[in-house]
Amino acid sequence: MYPRASEAGQGTGCYFDRAPEKLVLEGYRRWTAGFETGSVIAWEMAFGLYSEILGSREGNRALSELSFFIRTLRHCALCPLKTFPFGSHHVCKEECLTLGLIAGLQNCDMLAARTCLNAMACPSRQEEVENAAIGFAETLAELDQVLLPIPKFAIDDIISRPLRAKYH
């Protein structure tokens, strides 16, 4: 449905430095930190990142979808959301699952997306999380910000690892 990174000419460099992955990962980290700390500084940092990459108008549009997704996930998650610090080149399980969910939705890999969703959200609230994630994933795709696919076997491996492990 959406172009692969190699088709879009974005096949080089660090995974976390690609704009689509940075928007999802750093957006998740900063927006979650805003909820956790009660400080608007983290949210302002997220707005700055999105504006820098997408421009003010489109950045605000994408950030609105991220905000709705994170807010929904916080209410429906199986456990409290965890993150690494801003800019870290390590990812925790929750961050991997978030990247996997959005990548799965954008790349029409519903098996990978469903695997992430099952590991993230309580069964009775999965539809809410899925709908919020779809809105975020579609908005990013409309802005030409498509994540690289993450295969289901990699997601399964991450889910099976012990807690508190870093994956990169």
Could you tell me if 54 and 62 are in contact, meaning their C-beta atoms sit under 8 angstroms apart?
A: yes
Q: What was the pLDDT predicted at 78?
A: 66
Alpha carbon 116 to its chain centroid, in Å, reads: 11
Could you tell me if 115 and 100 are in contact, meaning their C-beta atoms sit under 8 angstroms apart?
A: yes
The two structure tokens encoding residue 129:
């999380």
Q: What was the pLDDT predicted at 163?
A: 64
Helix (H/G/I), strand (E/B), else coil: 77: strand
Q: What was the pLDDT predicted at 61?
A: 97
- Which residues of the chain fall short of a pLDDT of 70? 1-13, 77-78, 163-168
Q: What was the pLDDT predicted at 55?
A: 97
Global confidence as pTM: 0.87
